[in-house]
A and B are shown apart, each in its own frame.
Chain A
Amino acid sequence: MPEKIQTIHYVNQFFGGLGGEDQAGVAPQWYDGPKGPGQLIAGMAPDIEIIGTIVAGDNYMAENLDAAVAEIVGLIEAKRTVAADFKPKLLLAGPAFNAGRYGMACAAVCQAVQARLGIHAATALHEENPAVEIYRRPVTIVRASSDVMGMRDAATNMARVGLKLVAGAAIVPTEDNTISHGLRQNYFADAPGAQRAIDMLLRKVSGATPETEYAMPVFGRVPPAPAVKNMAQATLALVTSGGIVPRGNPDRIESANASKFGAYSLQGLDRLSGETHQSVHGGYDPTYANEDPNRVLPLDVMRDLEREGRIGKLSETYYATVGNATSVERAQRYGQNIAAELVNVGVQAVILTST
């Protein structure tokens, strides 16, 4: 018979049998063996051995979550140092259904033990529990009903998913009834893409709702800034996703999915040349940009406008990254950081060039 998985169970004062709101202020305490829903889990999941239950009051956790979670981590670490055979591989928290304080505590405890102690963790929450939005990315959350009526299903599934985590198996939200981490993950499908496309189309043509493999994201919209009133007084900057960098690519910006942007001086330069600058963008033919980098970063024209007095001046720093296959999330972050730096140095307008 395989060894049972040593498991710690986390519950609040109510499910731990200490009492209701009057006991909501109690600090985390350790009890050997299962309590409350833990007895249900132990009965239904023979591979799990609940070696202890941590019970804490909802208010105690909510009032100072970080410190309270640190206390729980400390409790487990202390057990580890005194008992050589104390080797928990899994922590299960809840189910907490739609209870706000309890849900936050469950999710925070899961996040902490997996990150700090290397113990797998899962909780069970209703999808509208406020903890879901905050913790879904790092924490494995099994779907639960909104109230305790769904205890048996949620506890059983939480135990099953927990064992899968310990076994290193992939959790598939649609199959395992978990809340997705909001991440896209590759896998090898049974049929090639063309065949899946035709099957999907036949269903759609027959009137069934297609089960898309990628639901359309909703794009954020950025309202344009108001027009610059007096260009002759304005400081302009150049920003490009076209990959124009000083020759040699000092920041080693990648040719695709760039992990950074660079800030480079234009001081003393009247125009760029193939000797001073180059393109590192991997998404377009760089021949012409390398021949004359002003084609992508139009310094030559900006200097003309500056001399003619049509703009106040050109900011002496330009920013560059590579837009090729760079994820929208990264691009947003670079945009926000570049904008903050530009505002800091008093830039009023930017010419953005893409490729």
Chain B
Amino acid sequence: MTLTLHKHIVNQVKLGEQTGINQGCLSLDAAALARTLQEQDHRLARIRVRLALPGEATRILCVKDVVQPRAKAVGTEPGTGVLCVLENVAIATCGPIVGFQEGIIDMSGPGAAYTPFSRLPLIVLEIDVHEPLDPHAHEEALREAGTRAAKFVAQSCLDSVPDQTEEVLWDEVPCAPSLPRIGYVYIVLSQGLLHDTYVLGRNAQEGLPISVDPRIVLDNGVLSGNCVSACDKNTTFHHQNNPVIAELLSGHGTRWNFTGVVITNEPTRLAEKQLSAAAAVEKIIQMKSSGVIISKEGFGNPDADLMMIVRDLEQAGIKTVAITDEFAGSDGASQSLADTTPEADALVSTGNANERVELPAMATTIGPLPDVSRLAGGYPHSLRDDGSMEVELQAIIGATNQLGYSHLSCREA
């Protein structure tokens, strides 16, 4: 099994007559993209395509998902063949609120520091659907529009010469027996009712845990389908660029032996949580891992899944480090998690999502501005007449990402 990445480094994005990449300049035929999406899904009533560039005074509101353009150039099996990847660009979908938990991306100003997407040129699709449409169909329509748009853009580059070619190696790399054996438990949200994730095309509520080749994740194997709070929802972009997998692959064979990925879920019922946790732990034991990284998605209820897995692994003699964000209150005075276990003695904190940030007014707003006060992390009084607002970091896309994608952390003060 081999996976080759053909990377195109985008240094400029512009709207134009056709779609394709030339000397690092990505041109997008917005009308053709909108037409293609609407032909594939008649639920989409109106699609406005705009660019939002780093440093611009632009605020994007009610962002549903962010997707990196990736498309298969050769092969059909997930995790194998040749994958065309556009670096330094992403698609963001937004529009009227579906759940409460769409988020904000500021391209400059104090909010920009908290989202990784302020550093990428974004192709923003603001999408309205034909009403009436129930929320679940609405979510599905936007999710599919985002991934189709990413494919549309990436496919336009299949015939161009990539800037970099990278062979992603894993189990064919020889590992000395003295290297520590490190595994990864990848917990994804699967609570249903707008809190879903799709693993290899299947809803994560079923069929998990599974152990997978890490290259499957790079090859669009995990897609976001949820409206959990923006700060710690794993967007599709985060899955495609899972930083734990990227790190573990980079030191595989030299600093450690990366034993594999177990993708597991976060069911809502206690008995199912216990079953999923036990099965995930069993798979890690089968891999003979001596240490495991565990990442999480969401907070509150998912804290229970995380703690169960930590406890069961530690009791099986396997060392754990878990990545979690905190909800310590706006002043940081509260305890941070909804569940704990004494075995969780090694946590990486990705920040207190309750901390507030003042966002000044922006010259350009994309998306439905009045919906801000209803977003999780917003307040009824969030939006002021001058366009400035105070929100919790919770409302900013990727602010406290629990795959460990960003630098934000939290400490005692």
| A binding-site residues for B, Cβ under 8 Å | 137, 170-174, 180-198, 200-202, 204-206, 210, 212-214, 216-217, 219, 249, 252, 254-257, 259, 281-288, 323-330
A287 pairs with B193, CB closer than 8 A: yes
A324 CA to B392 CA in the complex, in Å? 13
Neighbour of B347 across the interface among A187, A206, A213, A257, CB < 8 A: A213
- Contacts A194-B247, A204-B291 known; list 15 others, CB within 8 Å: A174-B411, A184-B411, A186-B355, A186-B393, A193-B402, A193-B406, A197-B348, A198-B248, A213-B410, A217-B337, A217-B340, A284-B193, A285-B99, A327-B334, A328-B334
B342 located at the interface, meaning its Cβ lies under 8 Å from any Cβ of chain A in the complex? yes
A218 CA to B342 CA in the complex, in Å? 9
| B binding-site residues for A, Cβ under 8 Å | 99-101, 113, 134-136, 180, 182, 191-195, 227, 229, 243-244, 246-248, 251, 255-256, 290-293, 299-300, 319-321, 323-324, 326-338, 340-342, 344-355, 374-381, 392-394, 401-413
A205 pairs with B332, CB closer than 8 A: no
A255 pairs with B374, CB closer than 8 A: yes
B345 pairs with A210, CB closer than 8 A: yes
A214 pairs with B392, CB closer than 8 A: no
Give 27 A-B contacts (CB < 8 Å), ordered by A residue.
Answer: A172-B413, A174-B412, A183-B331, A183-B412, A186-B351, A188-B113, A193-B323, A193-B405, A194-B247, A196-B348, A212-B346, A212-B347, A213-B348, A214-B337, A216-B340, A216-B341, A217-B336, A249-B380, A252-B380, A252-B381, A283-B100, A286-B99, A287-B134, A287-B193, A323-B300, A325-B354, A328-B334
3 closest residue pairs by CB, A with B: A193-B404, A194-B404, A285-B193
A191 pairs with B392, CB closer than 8 A: no
Minimum CB–CB distance from A164 to chain B (whole Å) comes to: 13
Query: Which chain B positions have C-beta within 8 A of A328?
Result: 334-335, 338
A187 pairs with B335, CB closer than 8 A: no
A212 CA to B100 CA in the complex, in Å? 32
- When A204-B321, A210-B345, A325-B376 are in contact, do A188 and B407 touch as well, CB less than 8 Å? yes
A329 CA to B327 CA in the complex, in Å? 11
- When A205-B290, A216-B341 are in contact, do A184 and B378 touch as well, CB less than 8 Å? no
- When A213-B348, A325-B229 are in contact, do A189 and B243 touch as well, CB less than 8 Å? no
CB-nearest residue of chain B to A325: B327
Neighbour of A200 across the interface among B334, B348, B379, CB < 8 A: B348
Considering residues B330, B381, B410, which has the most beta carbons from chain A within 10 angstroms of its beta carbon? B410
A213 pairs with B327, CB closer than 8 A: no
- When A184-B412, A192-B406, A213-B348 are in contact, do A257 and B327 touch as well, CB less than 8 Å? yes
A181 CA to B331 CA in the complex, in Å? 11
A282 pairs with B375, CB closer than 8 A: yes
Query: Which chain B positions have C-beta within 8 A of A284?
Result: 191, 193, 195
A202 CA to B326 CA in the complex, in Å? 23
Considering residues B327, B381, B409, which has the most beta carbons from chain A within 10 angstroms of its beta carbon? B409
B380 pairs with A170, CB closer than 8 A: no
- When A186-B351, A255-B376 are in contact, do A196 and B404 touch as well, CB less than 8 Å? yes
- When A174-B412, A190-B407, A191-B407 are in contact, do A330 and B319 touch as well, CB less than 8 Å? no
Query: Which chain B positions have C-beta within 8 A of A288?
Result: 193
A21 CA to B148 CA in the complex, in Å? 82
A183 CA to B244 CA in the complex, in Å? 29
B329 pairs with A257, CB closer than 8 A: yes
B407 pairs with A189, CB closer than 8 A: yes
B182 pairs with A198, CB closer than 8 A: yes
A5 CA to B137 CA in the complex, in Å? 64
Query: Which chain A positions have C-beta within 8 A of B376?
Result: 255-256, 282-283, 324-325
A184 CA to B347 CA in the complex, in Å? 14
A255 CA to B378 CA in the complex, in Å? 8
Minimum CB–CB distance from A285 to chain B (whole Å) comes to: 3
Query: Which chain A positions have C-beta within 8 A of B330?
Result: 257
A173 CA to B407 CA in the complex, in Å? 20
B411 pairs with A205, CB closer than 8 A: no
A213 pairs with B375, CB closer than 8 A: no
Query: Which chain B positions have C-beta within 8 A of A190?
Result: 407
Query: Which chain B positions have C-beta within 8 A of A194?
Result: 243-244, 246-247, 293, 323, 403-405
CB-nearest residue of chain A to B380: A252
B401 pairs with A193, CB closer than 8 A: yes
B100 pairs with A197, CB closer than 8 A: no
A189 CA to B351 CA in the complex, in Å? 10
Query: Which chain A positions have C-beta within 8 A of B299?
Result: 325
A214 pairs with B293, CB closer than 8 A: no
A213 CA to B346 CA in the complex, in Å? 7
Query: Which chain B positions have C-beta within 8 A of A187?
Result: 408-411
Query: Which chain A positions have C-beta within 8 A of B378?
Result: 254-255
Query: Which chain A positions have C-beta within 8 A of B331?
Result: 183
Minimum CB–CB distance from B384 to chain A (whole Å) comes to: 15
Neighbour of B352 across the interface among A184, A206, A212, A323, CB < 8 A: A184
Minimum CB–CB distance from A281 to chain B (whole Å) comes to: 8
Query: Which chain B positions have C-beta within 8 A of A197?
Result: 244, 293, 321, 323, 348, 404
A39 CA to B209 CA in the complex, in Å? 67
Neighbour of B334 across the interface among A185, A191, A324, A330, CB < 8 A: A330
Neighbour of B135 across the interface among A188, A205, A285, A325, CB < 8 A: A285
A318 CA to B403 CA in the complex, in Å? 40
A210 pairs with B346, CB closer than 8 A: yes
Considering residues A186, A196, A328, which has the most beta carbons from chain B within 10 angstroms of its beta carbon? A186
Minimum CB–CB distance from B195 to chain A (whole Å) comes to: 7
Query: Which chain B positions have C-beta within 8 A of A204?
Result: 291, 319, 321, 346
Query: Which chain B positions have C-beta within 8 A of A282?
Result: 99-101, 229, 374-376
Query: Which chain A positions have C-beta within 8 A of B404?
Result: 192-197
- When A184-B328, A255-B378, A324-B300 are in contact, do A213 and B411 touch as well, CB less than 8 Å? yes
A63 CA to B369 CA in the complex, in Å? 57
CB-nearest residue of chain A to B291: A205
Minimum CB–CB distance from A236 to chain B (whole Å) comes to: 25
Neighbour of A189 across the interface among B229, B247, B293, B408, CB < 8 A: B408
A184 pairs with B323, CB closer than 8 A: no
Minimum CB–CB distance from B224 to chain A (whole Å) comes to: 15
- When A204-B319, A213-B348, A325-B376 are in contact, do A183 and B247 touch as well, CB less than 8 Å? no
Considering residues B195, B347, B381, B393, which has the most beta carbons from chain A within 10 angstroms of its beta carbon? B347
Query: Which chain B positions have C-beta within 8 A of A188?
Result: 113, 407-409
B329 pairs with A327, CB closer than 8 A: yes
A198 pairs with B329, CB closer than 8 A: no
A283 pairs with B300, CB closer than 8 A: yes
Minimum CB–CB distance from B383 to chain A (whole Å) comes to: 13
Query: Which chain A positions have C-beta within 8 A of B394?
Result: 256-257, 325
B328 pairs with A327, CB closer than 8 A: yes
A170 CA to B411 CA in the complex, in Å? 12
Query: Which chain B positions have C-beta within 8 A of A257?
Result: 327, 329-330, 354, 377, 392, 394
